[in-house]
Amino acid sequence: MQQYFMQTIYFISGLGADETVFSRLQLPGYNRRYLPWLMPEKNESIEHYAARMAKAIDTPNPIIAGLSFGGMMSIEIARQLPVQKVILISSVSQYTQLPLWMRLAGWSRVNKIIPMRPYHFLEQIENYNMGVETPDDIEILRRYRQQVQPQYLQWAINEILRWHNNWLPASLYHIHGTNDRIFPVQKLHPTHLVQGGGHFMVYNRAAEVSSILQAILAA
C-alpha cells in the first residue's frame, strides 16, 4: 500500500508579524510550517539572517511563501538552497520595484536619523495604507505594534530600504492586490491579481488568496 505524504509549505509573515496573518488560508492536503522572525545579530546582513532562518527548513526543495518583507526574505533563502517554488504575497521581487520614497529613504539613510518604532499618532495612516477593513484587522495590527522588538524593527526597516536584489528564483509566483498602497501594483509584474485587494489581503481576502495558492500549488 502506497504511503501518502502531505507536501509542506513554509510561510514567512510580514515585518514583525506572526503566523496569525495566515490563519484564514484554506489549503487542504498541505502541511503548513511557519518560519518565525529571529532577533538580528549586531550588524547582521540580510544574507546571513536568511541562512539562519533557513536552518529551520528540513524539507528538500521546499515551497516557500512569503508575505511582504517575508517575500523578500523568501528570495534571499532561495539564493542559498534549492527550492521548488517561491510564492510572494503582497511583496516585491526586485530593488527597482520598491516605491521611490523607499529607495530615496534608503539612499539618504533617514532611518538612521529618525528612531524606527511604532508611533501612536501614525496608526490611522498605517491602517489605511495596510488596507485593514474591520475592527479585527485593526486589533491584529495593534497587537503587532505592541509586540515588535525595536532592535528587530530597526534592522528590518534598514534591510528593506537598502535591499538591492535583482536576482529571481527560477520558479517564482507573485500574488498581489490591485489596491495595495505599500507596494503599488503599477510597478510590479505579478503572476496573479486580487481585484480590490490591499496589503492585508492574505487575512481579509483569504478566500481569494487561498484559491490562487491552491492553483499554484497544484501546477
Instruction: For residue 147, give the nearest of 55, 39, 33, 67 by alpha carbon.
Output: 39
Q: Show pLDDT as tens, one digit a residue, over the chain (219 residues).
A: 444 567 899 999 998 788 999 999 999 999 999 999 999 999 999 999 999 999 999 999 999 999 999 999 999 999 999 999 999 999 999 988 887 656 655 544 544 444 444 445 467 777 777 888 788 888 888 888 888 888 898 898 888 888 889 999 999 999 999 999 999 999 899 999 999 999 999 999 999 999 999 999 998
Single-letter residue type at 91:
S
Dist CA 58 CA 56 (whole Å): 6
**What's the pTM?**
0.89
- Return the H-helix or E-strand segment holding 82: none
Residue 199: predicted pLDDT: 95
Residue 37: predicted pLDDT: 95
Is the CB of residue 77 less than 8 Å from the CB of residue 53? yes
Single-letter residue type at 155:
W
Biggest CA-to-CA distance, the chain: 63
Locate 100 and state its grid cell.
521611490
Single-letter residue type at 118:
P
User: How many whole angstroms from its chain centre is CA 176?
Assistant: 11
Instruction: For residue 148, give the nearest of 18, 2, 23, 12 by alpha carbon.
Output: 18
Residue 5: predicted pLDDT: 64
Task: Look at the block and give the residue holding cell 535583482.
Answer: 166
Q: What are phi and psi of 88, to 5 degrees?
A: -95, 135
